[in-house]
Amino acid sequence: MMNKLIFGRYMPGDSFIHRLDPRAKLLASFYFIGIIFLANNWQTYLLLAVFTLFAVSLSKVDMKFFIRGIRPLIWLILFTVALQVLFTSGGEVYWHWGIFNITQFGVLNGIFIFCRFVLIIFMSTLLTLTTPPLELSDAIEYLLRPLKVVRFPVHEISLMLSIALRFVPTLMDETEKIMNAQRARGVDFGEGSLVQKMKAIIPLLIPLFVSSFNRAEDLATAMEARGYQGGEGRTKYRVLHWHNQDTMVMGAFALLTVILVVLRG
Amino acid sequence: MDIHFEKVNFTYQPNTPFEQRALFDIDLLIKEGSYTALVGHTGSGKSTLLQHLNALVKPTSGSVQIGDRKITPETDNKNLKPIRKKVGIVFQFPEAQLFEETVARDIAFGPKNFGVGEEVALEIAKAALIQVGLDETYLNRSPFELSGGQMRRVAIAGVLAMKPEVLVLDEPTAGLDPQGRKEMMEMFWQLHKEQKITIVLVTHLMDDVANYADFVYVLEKGKIVKSGEPREVFQDLNWLKEKQLGVPTATEFAELLSEKGITMSELPLTAEELADEIVRLSGGIAHDE
């Protein structure tokens, strides 16, 4: 079921990107999504594409997995591109029918939107493929820390996040198991009418909820038994280290921004 | 109904970075009316193999013949229900599959999926519940208010209610107390003897294999490394120990005796055989049934 999904999964490896501090990677990915909107012409998009491909090559992950990451989103991308192409006016008109028209600006906009989507997906796939989920949640906790000032429950949120991340694969396994058990009892998942399909989900959903409740109870008991009392006064086992290479990455992004601003004119 | 594996290979998530090969060239035959045991370490591919037995997964290459149906990589996912009705699987910790409001409805769920009418299905549910050792008072209770052991029984009843010809058991007694374990194994044995149900048992407990099975397949890292009757397989204690598989307790004890100079023609598998052997060696007459 989840076999085809690459986006959001971690692939162990040892590369420059793998060794970066997760905070640097997280910040960089968000920053990249921000500056991608600075791009507005051929030169800027080309620059971003080259930059992204360079980052991808640094990760030593096979290119085809990035391309596969686009697959689940391809219809959304094509739909947006089609809307842009068909409804943007301006420039030379190539084709016209009723309210639809294909124009020079429309085609250009469509291509830009397409590039924007692909680059964003590549960058976020790069982040998740090279960063273990737990490191990612550590990074989020660290970056949210300033929000403590406004009484934002940073520790609780990050605890929930790391528990949630930890149990995603467990729950997936469980889903698969219960699905198989119900299929063995004669349930057809994904067959028949919409109503039938929805009815077939019940024998999967209820056991999943029940086991989640049970698991939550067991986990809470086990945590309490091990002396967990909340966020105050805890020390950390996994400590993040910021190295020179992380500063370098930040520098590269600053440089990229400057060039982008210059090139967009 | 025979189940016959021919050169079955299976790979999880083929063509992705997470690709993982689980079965290698498995040839295996489960004869009608037999009691076959599958043993091996965790991660040896037992559970993957048993999902092939009722076409929950299809081989990546090779074929599985289930009765008169042949499952190959190209087999369509439709029309597999008749196979699933004939081959019932009790998965590990089957209590996780309960979901209905009452025990009766949960047990009747399987038969209803295979086209049995509501009334008849509830009758079957009642019979199945009694078969697994619970009484009628449980019929209208919620499955979620039962104890772990009782839930397990209800889940097993749900599979028995489908009246399968082949019953596949994936560690059916894991996590049960000794009494419950014994009762459950005896119940499966009764089904096998009286209703001629073919049983496939996946287990870590060599005593169960020695007591019940008439054929054993030993799996290691996705391959079948040994097969035969329990008597043959368990004679080679050193091999078993080397592979870190268990040895039936009676066999182990007999081995200790033979180290002390008490020689037996053949190592016994069960406590009864061991007792007979000792009586014979001490000059008495072994009891005969």
Span between the terminal Cα atoms of chain A, in Å: 47
Please state the domain extents for chain A: 1-131+241-265, 132-234
**DSSP conformation letters of A100-150:** EEEEHHHHHHHHHHHHHHHHHHHHHHHHHHHS-HHHHHHHHHHHHGGGGGG
pLDDT in tens, chain A (265 residues): 444 455 567 778 888 888 889 999 999 999 999 999 888 888 899 999 999 999 999 988 888 888 887 888 899 999 999 988 888 777 777 777 777 788 888 888 899 999 999 999 999 889 988 888 888 888 998 999 899 899 998 888 888 988 888 888 889 889 999 999 999 999 988 778 889 888 889 999 999 999 999 999 999 999 999 999 887 788 888 888 999 999 999 999 999 999 999 998 7
Contact B56 A187 (CB under 8 A): no
Report the residue from B56, B99, B114 with minimal CB separation from A186. Answer: B114
**DSSP conformation letters of B119-177:** HHHHHHHHHHHHHTT--GGGTTS-GGGS-HHHHHHHHHHHHHTT--SEEEEESTTTT--
Contact A184 B158 (CB under 8 A): no
Q: What is the pLDDT of residue B30?
A: 93
User: Interior CA angle at B134 toward B130 and B138, to 5°?
Assistant: 105
The alpha carbon of residue B212 is apart from the nearest alpha carbon of chain A, in Å, by: 25
Q: Which residue of B has its CA nearest to A61?
A: B17
Residues of chain B with C-beta less than 8 angstroms from the C-beta of A178 = 96-97
Quote the ipTM score: 0.87
Contact A180 B56 (CB under 8 A): yes
Give the number of C-alpha atoms closer than 13 A to the C-alpha of residue A134, restricted to the C-beta side.
9
pLDDT (tens digit, 9 = 90+) per residue, B181-201? 999 999 999 999 999 999 999
pLDDT (tens digit, 9 = 90+) per residue, B166-183? 999 999 998 888 998 999
Contact A207 B99 (CB under 8 A): yes
